Amino acid sequence: MSFENFAKKISRSLSDVKDAPFVKEVCKACSNMYRLGWDERNGGNISYLLEEKEVEKYLDTEGCLREIPMGFKANILAGKYFLVTGTGKYFKNVEEDPANNLGIIKIAADGETAKLLWGWEDGGRFTSELPAHLMSHMSRLSADPENRVIMHSHPTNILAMTFVHDLDEREFTRSLWRMITECMVVFPDGVGVLPWMLCGNNEIGEATAEKMKEFRLVVWANHGIYGAGKTMDEAFGLIETVEKAAELYLKTAHLPRVNTITDEQLKIIADGFHLKAKEGWLDL
């Protein structure tokens, strides 16, 4: 830290960012996701859009520990702050060591450089999936200005389902909706599905962001899922619900189907909760 920044920190008596509620939320989410078996080794990543008024309680928002090129342009995010998990970092370790496993970045005015304000103290950098995250933030913000969280992970049953189910997103969603009555309530807008693609590059980022204009959930076949939300709970809860539905699908897919939730009943659920099922996705 430069003398100037140090002086500012003293004069404004900034609190320790490790105690910030947004850092604690990400730590807790990573631990929960690890315990649920969704994030083996370095699998999974989270990005959390922070407000300046939250960040400035803890950090000098004009400071910069390092500049890290992003390799893509995110102009409309210039000046925005994100708490992001690091590349190669294990979710199981985040809670005990947030300063090495997480980072807080500010997107520079050029829209293609990340200014590191805190974290990755061992010299690390943001997740390899930053393109998919920031491009998805741009898409979700255009659909919902209050969106703040993008979350990626590898839940076992969702992944397994992509090996045995048609990847048509209408059919995939309908199979999930039928598994738990709550599914229609939680994701009436459905689930987008991408075919297998190489991860960690701008191409899959662009494809994910295109789906995120329409969906808060995007399945990556044979890889995992992305969830978006206004809060950590919303993004987590969406993935959790799809994962449970996928588990039920796999537990019953090979058995004779004696009962089901019909399309008429799916419509009754949507109407009952004043929600609208994705246009044209119910056969009525």
Whole-number minimum distance, CB 204 to ligand 2HA, in Å? 9
Question: In terms of C-beta density within 10 A (0-12 exposed, 13-18 middle, 19 or more buried), how is residue 200 classed?
Answer: middle
- 156 half-sphere exposure, CB direction, 13 A CA radius: 10
Q: Name the β-bridge partners of 119.
A: 103
The CA-CA-CA angle for residues 45, 233, 220, to 5°, reads 40
Whole-number minimum distance, CB 115 to Zn ion, in Å? 26
Binding mask 198-237 for ligand 2HA (x = CB under 6 A): -xx-------------------------------------
Return the one option of ligand 2HA, Zn ion, none that residue 205 interacts with (CB less than 5 to 8 A, by type).
none
* Separation CA 107–CA 256 (nearest Å): 53
Using alpha carbons, list the distances in angstroms from residue 49 to 75, 104, 148, 206.
15, 10, 5, 19
Q: Which is nearer to ligand 2HA, 113 or 201 (CB)?
A: 201
Q: Which is nearer to ligand 2HA, 155 or 188 (CB)?
A: 155
Q: Is 25 labeled as catalytic in the residue annotation?
A: no
Whole-number minimum distance, CB 68 to ligand 2HA, in Å? 16
Q: Taking CB under 6 A as the rule, does residue 128 contact ligand 2HA?
A: yes
Q: Taking CB under 6 A as the rule, does residue 93 contact ligand 2HA?
A: no
Return the one option of Zn ion, ligand 2HA, none that residue 111 interacts with (CB less than 5 to 8 A, by type).
none
Determine the interface stretch with Zn ion among 97-105, 207-215, 222-230, 257-265 (rule: CB under 5 A).
222-230
Edge to edge, the sheet with strand 81-85 lists: 66-69, 113-119, 102-107, 81-85, 45-50, 149-153, 224-229, 217-220, 192-194
Q: Which is nearer to Zn ion, 113 or 128 (CB)?
A: 128
Tokens describing residue 222: 């044979």
Helix axes 232-252, 169-177, angle to 10 degrees: 90
Query: Which residue among the candidates 95, 129, 169, 247 is catalytic per the annotation?
Result: 129
Q: Taking CB under 6 A as the rule, does residue 129 contact ligand 2HA?
A: yes
Binding site for ligand 2HA (CB under 6 A): 42-45, 127-129, 152, 199-200
Binding site for Zn ion (CB under 5 A): 224
Positions annotated as catalytic residues are: 129
